[in-house]
Structure 1
Amino acid sequence: MATTELQMSPQLEQIHGEIRDLFRALSNGFQRLDKMKDSNRQSKQLEELTGKMRECKRLIKEFDREIKDEESKNPPEVNKQLNDEKQSMIKELNSYVAMRKTYMNTLGNKKIELFDMGAGVSEPTADENVKMASSMSNQELVDHGMKTMDETDQAIERSKKVVEQTIEVGTQTAGTLKGQTDQMGRIVNELDTIQFSIKKASQLVKEIGRQVATDKCIMLFLFLIVCGVIAIIVVKVFFSLTYFNFVVY
């Protein structure tokens, strides 16, 4: 159904245009994939196409929410057209999902798990997917597509929780390391203070030693002076006695 035949609000037209652009990119991407021979390039191309399918799934869900929000404002025939277009887009997206699984089975590449049906359950082949899709009504296709999208959202939410827990553990570890770093810094500062105190004490001991040595020199000098004075007194007394004896005799 062409975009001009639909009566849409500007918001719906924008979302619808983005989805159609992604569908064209997916179509061109799978055509290029057919021409690739190298398995590594094919795996990389599949990863890029998977990202586009994931974005397309998100936009289809947003398109569905906008339809529900505007349902009361639109006439019944417009709502029917919009819902038919939504179902058509989901069916087209499912066809690309089936193509992706075909290429994955061919490559044996199990790294991309966008629409995984659960651990321990084997995925149906592409032919089985096509047969199953052809036997389902439009509403069943919509329900199946929505269920698959919800399961993918749940897987993404679980991955987000794991990332958040990892970030929380990393934050706690960083806080612990910061506390230990601060403690080591305080220990280093205390060691610097102790080293400074030891240096001051060593300088004080040296000054005291020099002071004691100076005091000893002064005492020795005073002792020599006293000895000199005593010697002079003794000499004078000796000469006085000698002179006195000489005069008497």
Structure 2
Amino acid sequence: MDISAINEDLANIDAQINDLLRALSNGFQKLDKVKDPNRQSRQLEELTEKMRECKRLIKEFDRELKVEESQNTTSVIKMLNDRKQAMIKELNSFVALKKQYGGNLGNKRNELFDAHEAGPGPGEEGVFLASSMTNQQLMDAGDRMMNETDQAIERSKKVVHDTVNVGGETAAALKAQTEQMSRIVNELDSIHFSMKKATQLVKEIGRQVATDRCIMALLFLIVVGVIAIIIVKIVNPKNKDIRDIPGLAPPVNRKLLWDHHYYR
């Protein structure tokens, strides 16, 4: 087909369809060499998905072809229609192959299933139809079934007993954990109360320390003032202001004796 005679969209769709048809052809050729039914089934599903995609692209090709009918010549339209029919024919051949492989795969699975059903399973050796068994065989078979039933019951009892023990141990562990959690909560409450009391005590100590500091500061000021007055008195004993301070002025008798001695 002359690709230059069609537009770019149709050419892209045609190329995608060609790739899918080529992949389908190669896939069915490889499918003949696969012997494993499961693997063959998976590959057949992959090929089926590619056939669905190819069918979708052919429909899209047909829609684009109808849009281009008014813009192309009759010969181009005929060529595109022939191309579409050839793609549909090739796709239908792959659909027929898919049905054929699907039928063969189903027959293989049925044969495997029938063989499995016909053959004796594990533990079924020596099992006969009841109609062909003698009374002794029936009794033996009944005894075996009863023994197997008793063993199954004993196993079930053991499982139930183990389950009850596990449940009891779990309940005891949960109870111990619950009590431990309760103790932890009580300890946390005690710690919280202790921290609250400690905070109050620290606040009271802080207030007391502040009061003591104020008193010490006041006493320090008084001592400094007294020391300062004493120093000034020593340096300048004639200072009348200091002399008038109670306790610092010299006694009256001592002053008179001093004046008398001076005038003599």
TM-score (norm 1): 0.42
CA radius of gyration, larger in: 2
Higher relative contact order (CA 8 A, sep 6+): 1
